[in-house]
Amino acid sequence: MTLTTDCVSCADELAAGATFCESCGRRLAEPPPEEKTVEPADPKRKNCSRCGAESSVGDDGYCEECGMLAGRSRDHLEADGGAAGAAVSDRGRRHRRNEDAMWLAVGTNAADVVVSDGVSASFDPDAASDIAVRAAGELLACARHPDAPPPVAGDPDETVPLEDLERPPGAVGLAAAAAHAITGAAAAVASLAHTGDPRRAAANPACTIVAAAVRGPHVGYGWVGDSRIYWLGPDGPAEQLTEDDSWATHVIAMGADPVAAMNDPKAHAITAWLGADAGPVRPRVRSFTASEAGHLVLCSDGLWNYLPDPAEFGAVVRESLRATNSLLGAARALVAYANAAGGGDNITVALIPVPAAEAKPATDFDKTIPLDTTDA
């Protein structure tokens, strides 16, 4: 038996016979207050990236502490096709969500790529761009390599070309595939106006689209709106392969002063788009066969707005490819470039290398395989 004891609550040493602890004032007969068991953090709940609170993100996506939206899955997307292609899409710095969407599928000597930019003035433009790239991407997968041997006889899914009909030479068939893909995407986007939120009927979801099918050195592409494709050869400025369906492009073609037209507030208003109110969509399609190796660069206006000069555009893309030594790294660097310049819009960029036609004919004409888009 000891003459002194310790307070169970605060561990202060007590005088013999004391009834109350001198230090914390608790009555000694009482058991110490039960430590409030801290609710184990719900492992399924995410931590808030804004205020740092743990497991605070509720079912509706907002932090239970600071109320901030905990980020959407589309805020930053990457697709890595190794040496065959890469694409990155980013929310940017000014917009609250990413209304751009992208599709990348690669095979041996083949790639399908689609970029779409939702029209902000419409309702749910993110749904429009999302369905557009999926519809177009799946249709592009059917594009055949112009140099591929005719399909094996007996395949019930294949048609047999009539003897007298010649297949279109080179890449022309790929342009038809791009047209088919964009037309399919247009129908898919138009169908959105009558599904989901009733407000979609009043301001139907709309988007731009640019799609390309690459088979060896052959490229077929098409577009509606102001998302662009550039061709970047071994040297020299980048070559813009598309012509924007925009007010500025239209009036410049009519003879207006290019500088004045580009500075007009209406410059970026698009004159063609995908959506229920777009009327019959007539995608513009083209094709070519690369005579020297280069890169296709597909991008939304979130990138090209900051690089209007083709020479500067080419220089920045080349520098990104050189500095990062990978297509994905270069695509990331281009997104970072646009964000550093202000990030005023959503940014999507895709890079696809195209070999020169002199290259040894490919031996394997596998169909393309869609890549999983990763949420980074």
Partner 1 sequence: MSYTAEAFQNEYLALGASEVNAIVTVTSSGGEGGRRSGGATEIIIVDASGSMQAEGRIGAARQAAKAAVECIDDGVRFAIIAGVSTAQQLFPAPGELAVASPQTRAAAAQAIDRLQANGGTAMGAWLLLAAQLFASRPGDIKHAILLTDGDNGERHGYLDSVLDQIKEQFVCDCRGVGASWKVAELRKIADRMLGTVDIVAKPMELTTSFQQMITAAMGKTAADVQLKVWTPVNSTVRFVKQVEPQVVDLTGKRVEDGPRAGRYPLGSWGQESRDYHLCIDVPAGSAGDEMLAARVHIMEGDTEHARCLVRAVWTDDSALSTRINRQVAHYTGQAELADAIQAGLAAREAGDDRTATIKFGRAAQLAHASGNKATEDLLAKVVEIEDAVTGTVRLKRKVAAEDEMALDTRSTKTVRVGRGQ
The torsion of the CA quartet 167, 170, 175, 177, rounded to 10 degrees, works out to: 50
69 or 256, CB closer to partner 1? 69
Q: Select 67 or 236, whichever has its Cβ closest to partner 1.
A: 67
Q: Which is nearer to partner 1, 22 or 64 (CB)?
A: 64
Q: In what order do the strands lie in the sheet with 294-299?
A: 239-240, 228-232, 294-299, 347-354, 86-90, 76-80, 374-375
Minimum gap (Å) between residue 96 Cβ and partner 1: 5
CB of 50 to partner 1, least distance (A): 8
CA nearest to 309, candidates 245, 256, 262, 253: 262
Q: Copy the structure tokens of residue 156.
A: 């019930």
The nearest distance, CB 39 to partner 1, in angstroms, is 12
State whether residue 225 is helix, strand or coil. Answer: coil
Q: How far is the CB of 373 from partner 1 (least distance, A)?
A: 22
CB of 69 to partner 1, least distance (A): 4
Beta pairing class for 239-240 and 206-207: unpaired
167 vs 266 by CB, closer to partner 1: 266
- Nearest distance in Å: CB 307, partner 1: 22
Question: Judged by CB, which is closer to partner 1: 38, or 259?
Answer: 38
Q: Please say which residue, 247 or 313, places its beta carbon nearer to partner 1.
A: 247
Q: Which residues touch 238 (CB under 8 Å, ≥6 apart)?
A: 230, 231, 232, 297, 310, 311, 313, 314, 317
Q: With CA atoms as reference, report the closest residue to 201 among 257, 122, 118.
A: 122
Whose Cβ is closer to partner 1: residue 59's or residue 235's?
59
Spell out where 86-180 has E strands.
86-90, 100-107, 110-117
Q: Which residue reads 């020479």 in tokens?
A: 311
Identify which of 283, 294, 305, 289 has the alpha carbon closest to the alpha carbon of residue 349: 305
- Residues 191, 155 contacting (CB under 8 angstroms): no
Nearest-approach distance from CB 375 to partner 1, in angstroms: 18
Binding site for partner 1 (CB under 8 A): 51, 60, 62-63, 65-69, 91-97
